[in-house]
Homo-oligomer: A and B are copies of this chain.
Amino acid sequence: MIEDLSHNEKLILNVFKKSNKPLKAYQILFQVQKKGIKSPTQVYRALDKLQEIGKVHKIESRNSYLICNNTDCLNKSSVSFLICNLCEKIVEIEDKLFSNHFSKICEEFNRKYTQHNLEIFGTCISCSEKK
């Protein structure tokens, strides 16, 4: 629940809401320094919490973080993204299907599925048209 976010957590969530783009931890830090947050630790703490509750996801290959606009994101820890290889625009995909599919794959390899991280790179329509 967003209501019980702490002061710092709300601050940083707001930075995401305003930008609606993937952000890096130190970009966020620079944004909130005006508001009194001084150290990376504080940012990373908030990011951790926001990730735990599924409001923010990390894009591993980019070391960046993206707000989740799904009202109640299923992807607490599992995430699937489409990333444009040219302009870096990123879209999150909802994915019950993926989880089921990946669970089966895990079974084949004698593993118990817990979560996944999927990044699909491709050229978005506007970048395709620019050529």
Q: Which residues of B contact A128 (CB under 8 A)?
A: 112
Of A5-13, A43-51, A103-111, the one with at least 4 CB within 8 A of chain B: A103-111
Q: In the complex the two chains form, is B122's CB within 8 Å of A114's CB?
A: yes
Please determine whether A61 and B117 come into contact, CB atoms closer than 8 angstroms. yes
The interface residues of chain B lying within 8 Å CB-to-CB of A114 are 85, 121-123
Copy total for this chain: 2
Choose among B85, B111, B118, B120 the residue that contacts A84 (Cβ–Cβ < 8 A).
B111
CB neighbours of A116 from chain B (8 A): 118-121
Residues of B within 8 A of A73 (CB): none
Starting from the known contacts A60-B61, A112-B128, A116-B119, 13 additional A-B residue pairs (CB-CB under 8 Å) come to: A60-B119, A82-B106, A85-B115, A93-B109, A105-B120, A106-B120, A106-B122, A111-B122, A111-B124, A115-B121, A116-B121, A117-B119, A118-B118
Q: List 16 A-B contacts (CB under 8 A).
A: A60-B60, A82-B106, A85-B115, A91-B109, A93-B109, A105-B120, A106-B120, A110-B125, A111-B122, A111-B123, A112-B123, A113-B121, A114-B123, A116-B118, A117-B118, A118-B119
Give chain A's interface residues, CB within 8 Å of chain B.
Answer: 60-61, 82, 84-85, 91, 93, 102, 105-106, 109-125, 128
